[in-house]
C-alpha cells in the first residue's frame, strides 16, 4: 500500500509498504507509490498497548452490579462470583474483550488475574499461548485480597507465579496493617527475584493520604536494581498527599525507574466515595510525575466488571478521561497523552515499536488528521497493518 501526505509524529510524509516491511518514508512527493492502492491524509501511529486490565473479571459486572461504586464492594462482588467460574466462562469472556481491543488497534495486553482463582489463572495462561502470534498477552499473578490477610492466600499466589505468570503482583494497601503492606511489597520482590519475573503492584488505590506504599516500592526497586521492571498501578493516594511529600515521592518514582500506570476510568468512579462535597477526582498526579521525569502509562483497567459498569476496551476512552480529570488540556499535554498509548504503554512488554524504513510494517492509520482530533472523536483506526497484512 501507499500512504500519501500522512501525519507521522507531527511530520507530513509519504509512506510505502513493500511486502511485510516499510519500504520507504519521505517528504510528501518524494516516495514512489505509482500503481499501489493509496490512502490520502490522516495519521499513522504504532499499535497501542494495554498495560493494566482484568480479563478474568471482564463482563461480570452485569452478574454482580456495584451499587455503592466503591472499590471494596467491587472486591466483595468479585469474591462472591469467583468460586463459580469455569475455565470456558473465563476463556469466552476474555476472548470477547481481547477482540474488542484488537479492533481498536491494541496488540499487547497485560492482564492481572486473581491468584485466589486457580481456574482463572490456568485459563488465562492457556489463552496467552493460544493468542501467540496475534496478540502478546502477559499475565500478572495478582492477589486480589492480599497475601497476608489469612492463611492460604500467599500459597496460591506463589503457585500462580510458579505456573508461569509473567509478573508478580501485590496489593499492599489492602493488607491488614501498614507494616504488612510493606512486607508484602518485599515478598513480591523476593518472589520476582526467585523466578526472574517483573513486578506489577496495585499501589495505594485509595484516597487516604496515609497510604504510603509507593515510596517503599521505589526504594526496593533502587536497592534491588529493578529499574525498568516495575509498574505501580493507580497510585491514587498521591493525589491526596500533602504537596511537599508528593514532590518527594514523584522525584523518587523518577529516580527508581518505576512506571506509574494511571487508570482514569476506574479511579474517577471509585475514588472520592467517602467525600462530602467537594469530591476528589482521585486520579494520580500525572502532570507532577511528568515534571519530575517519571514514566507514566494509561490503562483501561476494567471492562464491564464488578468495579466499573462501562467500558469498550478502547484506550482512547481512558486517554480522553485523563485529559479531563487531570486538566491536561494544552496542545502539548493532549499530544503527550495520545502518544503514551503507543509509546510508554509498551514499556512493560519491553521495546517500543518503531515506524521507520526497513522495519516490520505494523501500524495503525486513523482518518483523524492529528492526535487531538483522534482524542476528540475516539474513533477506531480505519486501517490496521500487521507485518504487511491489512
Dihedral sign of CA atoms 351, 236, 291, 105 in order: positive
| Separation between Cα atoms, residue 238 and residue 245, nearest integer Å | 9
Burial class (CB in 10 A: 0-12, 13-18, 19+), 99: exposed
Bridging pattern class, strands 363-366 and 295-298: unpaired
Contacts of 239 (CB under 8 A, 6+ apart): 207, 271, 280, 281, 282, 283, 284, 285
173-208 core/surface letters (b: 16 or more CB in 10 A; e: else): bbbeeeebbbbbbebbbebbeeeebbbbbbbbbbbe
Going by their DSSP bridges, the two strands 2-8 and 295-298 should be labelled as unpaired
Give the catalytic positions in this structure: 205
What whole-number distance in Å separates Cα of residue 288 and Cα of residue 91? 39
User: What b/e string do you get for 117-146 counting C-beta neighbours within 10 Å, with b at 16 or more?
Assistant: bebbbbbbbebbeebeeebbbbbbbbbbbb
- Closest to 264 measured CA to CA, from 225, 311, 210, 196: 311
* 86/60 Cα distance (integer angstroms): 13
**Dist CA 134 CA 107 (whole Å):** 7
Concatenate the DSSP letters of all residues of 121-140 into one string. Answer: HHHHHHHHHHHTTT-EEEEE
Within 8 A by CB and 6+ apart from 295, the residues are 254, 257, 258, 259, 260, 344, 347
The residues with which 43 forms a beta bridge, in sequence order, are 7, 366
Amino acid at each position: 500500500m501507499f500512504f500519501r501526505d500522512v501525519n507521522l509524529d507531527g511530520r507530513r510524509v509519504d509512506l510505502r509498504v513493500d511486502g511485510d516491511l516499510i519500504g520507504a518514508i519521505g517528504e510528501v512527493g518524494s516516495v514512489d507509490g505509482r500503481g499501489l492502492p493509496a490512502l490520502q491524509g490522516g495519521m499513522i501511529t504504532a499499535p497501542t498497548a494495554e498495560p493494566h486490565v482484568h480479563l478474568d473479571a471482564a463482563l461480570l459486572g452485569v452478574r454482580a452490579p456495584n451499587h455503592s461504586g466503591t472499590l471494596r464492594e467491587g472486591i466483595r462482588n468479585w469474591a462472591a462470583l469467583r468460586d463459580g467460574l469455569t475455565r470456558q466462562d473465563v476463556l469466552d469472556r476474555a476472548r470477547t474483550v481481547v477482540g474488542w481491543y484488537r479492533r481498536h488497534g491494541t496488540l499487547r495486553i497485560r492482564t492481572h488475574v486473581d491468584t485466589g482463582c486457580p481456574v482463572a489463572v490456568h485459563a488465562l495462561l492457556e489463552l496467552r499461548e493460544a493468542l501467540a502470534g496475534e496478540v502478546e498477552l502477559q499475565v500478572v499473578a495478582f492477589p486480589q485480597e492480599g497475601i497476608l490477610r489469612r492463611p492460604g492466600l500467599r500459597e496460591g499466589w506463589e503457585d500462580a507465579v510458579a505456573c508461569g505468570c509473567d509478573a508478580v503482583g501485590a496489593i499492599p494497601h489492602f493488607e491488614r496493617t501498614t507494616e504488612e503492606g510493606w512486607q508484602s511489597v518485599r515478598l513480591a520482590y523476593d518472589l520476582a527475584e526467585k523466578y526472574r519475573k517483573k513486578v506489577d503492584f496495585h499501589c495505594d488505590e485509595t484516597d487516604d493520604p496515609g497510604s504510603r506504599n509507593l515510596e517503599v516500592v521505589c526504594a526496593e526497586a533502587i536497592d534491588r536494581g529493578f529499574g525498568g521492571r516495575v509498574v505501580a498501578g493507580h497510585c491514587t493516594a498521591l493525589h491526596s498527599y500533602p504537596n511537599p511529600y508528593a514532590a518527594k515521592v514523584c522525584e523518587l518514582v523518577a529516580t527508581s525507574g518505576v512506571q506509574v500506570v494511571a487508570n482514569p476510568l476506574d479511579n474517577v468512579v471509585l475514588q472520592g466515595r467517602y467525600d462530602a462535597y467537594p469530591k476528589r477526582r482521585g486520579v494520580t498526579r500525572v502532570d507532577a510525575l511528568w515534571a519530575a521525569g517519571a514514566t507514566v502509562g494509561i490503562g483501561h483497567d476494567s471492562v464491564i466488571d464488578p468495579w466499573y459498569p462501562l467500558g469498550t476496551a478502547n484506550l482512547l476512552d481512558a486517554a480522553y478521561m485523563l485529559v479531563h480529570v487531570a486538566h491536561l488540556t494544552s496542545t502539548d499535554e493532549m499530544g503527550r497523552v495520545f502518544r503514551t498509548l503507543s509509546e510508554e504503554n509498551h514499556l512493560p512488554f519491553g521495546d517500543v515499536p518503531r515506524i521507520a524504513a526497513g522495519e516490520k510494517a505494523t501500524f495503525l492509520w486513523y482518518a483523524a488528521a492529528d492526535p487531538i482530533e483522534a482524542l476528540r472523536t475516539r474513533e477506531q483506526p480505519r486501517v490496521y497493518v500487521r507485518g504487511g497484512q491489512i
